[in-house]
Structure 1
């Protein structure tokens, strides 16, 4: 038995209200269950209850066992002086008020509806399940599910943007600087993400603003700070960037990060950190005010056009500074741009709109509904239990559902779980 379940039963009155009595057989009539309190203090505030034909207005406290009142030291806390009813699953001790009279107690297990208890036991069964409701999720009303997916999507956006808020404060509310750091992290993908974030944070963004008009200076700054210009290589392009970097290093008093933080192991050549740095350099050379442009774009094709870049001619025939390879354009793929939109652009845009005082929710929904479903182990598993995703809006919702609700057994805060329990 879970105390959250008792909260849920009380809040939605999933108990027989006929002949409701306290533990000492005084009749109870619940007019208002009260306001669910998620902060410190009693569980439900300002309830209205008739106990033994007397009308009371006050608070309700809920426990699995009545002795929990003393276990939690409520008798020492003035916040609990206005409790008018103690709701418990079982009474194993008498709780006394300050005037030494017993606190009216409702033993909930005597009144809980069998259907609610059975649904709860099924949902929290000890049977091994990938998610608690995997046998019932396909029976949920479509209207409830659609509304919940939208709520999940914006919860995910909110959580991502909250993490970005700290980065924004560190960068003195410079959205352009934060965008650069977050894009860099995403250019590194999962394997090199932290290394790319370290690279983008190793110098002040104002330096990039000054050098980005010159393609070679910008490339020298990024490759130099990444540690790829520390070696002596005979390649002319490498030597040119190295000389340029030595000048920038002295002028701006910057130091490179360790080259060995970047991984090439078991990576596809197009994902090599050298190629991703070259693409990032070309992007910022082409677009001088990238964040401003991102804010203006609302359609998917607009983003594809924005990220349609050409790498320097050298990188079209190289994957590193030493060995020449077959000619290939090394453009950013649409699937890669989709990842940038999902993981960086939309959360940052959401934060920007919040800071401006209003979120245009349709901007985010319309865009994500036009991006193909993501492919990962969680989405594949949802697919096997019959929950199909039509687009990235739905995959983002289901990722939030799995990671922040199912994995934490937060069924009683989930619309799907509530729907099952309320049957």
Structure 2
């Protein structure tokens, strides 16, 4: 038993309110349960309760045991002076107010159905392999599930928006600069995402703006800031970039990060940081007004076209500066572009439209549903439970469900959990 369950039962009045009595056998009628307070102080504010036909207005405090009142030292806190009812699962000790009168206490365990308690225990305390309700998930109504997935997607989008808004604060609301930072982070994928973000934030975006009209200058800038031009290699292209970066470093008073931050170990060559940096430089060079282009596109195929560009000839025969390789175009795959759409473009577009007061959930939904579902262990496990993501909206929603509800056992805040509890 925990207080979250008590909050849930009280908030939604999922208990028998016939013959309600306090611990000292006084008749209780709940007129208003109050507003759930998620800050410090009593758990429910502005409640109205009749006790022995006397109307009381004030706050309600909830505990698993009555003695928790003293355990939490509420008797020393003036914010609890207006508590009119103490709701507990088990009454084990009388609690007294400052006037030495006993605080009216309602013991809930005798007024909650056995089925509800069993359903709750089977969810929260079940030793599941993946999620608490995995054995009951297929019984959930499809309409409820679809509505939940849409809500969870926008919840995940709002979560991503928080990070984007922090970047906007740091860049004085420069959306183009934030796009560059987000693209860099996404080009690094999970393994190198943070080093790529460090690379993007290691210089003011005004430097990129000035140098992006010359591919060699821009490439030298990015590789130099990433710390890859510190060695003494004889390769002509390397020496060219090194010389250009030496000039840029002096011109813009730059400080690079260490290349040791980037990981190559156990990575496929096409995901090497060197290849991703070269691709990022080529993208910025190919599309000088990339932000406005990305914000105006609403079709998946148009994104694929925009991200179809050529890398510098050197990188078609190299994965690193040190050794040659078989010639290959080093183009971005559609699955990689999908990740950029999911993690960079749509979240940034959402925040951008919000800032202009033009956000349209339908527009966002139509765009994300064009993108294929992600492939990862979470989506695979849901698929094994016969919940198959048909598109990226659903895969993002399922990731949100797993990470923010199932793993944390927040079944009481989940529409699926609520449905199963009340069966």
TM-score (norm 2): 0.95
Q: Deviations over 1:18-57 (max 9, x none)?
A: 1111111111122222222212222112222221122222
Aligned to 1:221: 221
Q: Distance in 2 between matches of 1:49 and 1:292?
A: 58
Q: Distance in 2 between matches of 1:59 and 1:290?
A: 55
Larger displacement relative to structure 2 (101-110 or 189-198)? 189-198
Aligned to 2:148: 148
Q: Distance in 1 between matches of 2:257 and 2:61?
A: 56
Aligned to 1:325: 325
Aligned to 2:403: 403
Q: Deviations over 1:283-342 (max 9, x none)?
A: 111111222222222221221122111111222222223433332211111100111111
Aligned to 2:14: 14
| Structure 2 spans left out of the alignment, 5+ residues | none
Q: Distance in 1 between matches of 2:2 and 2:107?
A: 15
Aligned to 1:47: 47
Q: Distance in 2 between matches of 1:98 and 1:119?
A: 39
The 1:274/1:127 distance shift into structure 2, 3 A limit, reads: closer
Alignment pair present for 1:107 and 2:104: no
Across the aligned residues of Structure 1 and Structure 2, the Cα RMSD in angstroms comes to 1.7
Q: Distance in 2 between matches of 1:53 and 1:320?
A: 82
Cα offset for 1:358? 4.7
Aligned to 1:239: 239
Please list, as runs of the form range in 1=range in 2, the aligned pairs for 1:24-423 lying within 5 A after superposition: 24-423=24-423
Q: Distance in 1 between matches of 2:273 and 2:191?
A: 10
Q: Distance in 2 between matches of 1:209 and 1:245?
A: 16
Cα offset for 1:403? 0.8
Q: Deviations over 1:191-241 (max 9, x none)?
A: 222221222222221111001111111111112222322233333322222
Contact 2:126/2:132 (CA < 8 Å) preserved in 1?
no
Larger displacement relative to structure 2 (149-158 or 188-197)? 188-197
Cα offset for 1:279? 0.8
Q: Deviations over 1:41-87 (max 9, x none)?
A: 22112222221122222221111111111222222323222222111
Contact 2:346/2:368 (CA < 8 Å) preserved in 1?
no
- The secondary structure found in structure 1 opposite 2:224 is helix
Count residues with an aligned counterpart.
423
- The secondary structure found in structure 1 opposite 2:55 is strand
Cα offset for 1:352? 2.1
Cα offset for 1:255? 3.0
Cα offset for 1:126? 4.2
Q: Distance in 1 between matches of 2:137 and 2:173?
A: 42
TM-score (norm 1): 0.95
Contact 2:224/2:245 (CA < 8 Å) preserved in 1?
yes
Q: Distance in 1 between matches of 2:363 and 2:168?
A: 22
Q: Distance in 2 between matches of 1:230 and 1:81?
A: 67
| Structure 1 spans left out of the alignment, 5+ residues | none
Cα offset for 1:185? 1.4
Q: Deviations over 1:136-161 (max 9, x none)?
A: 22212222222211121111111111
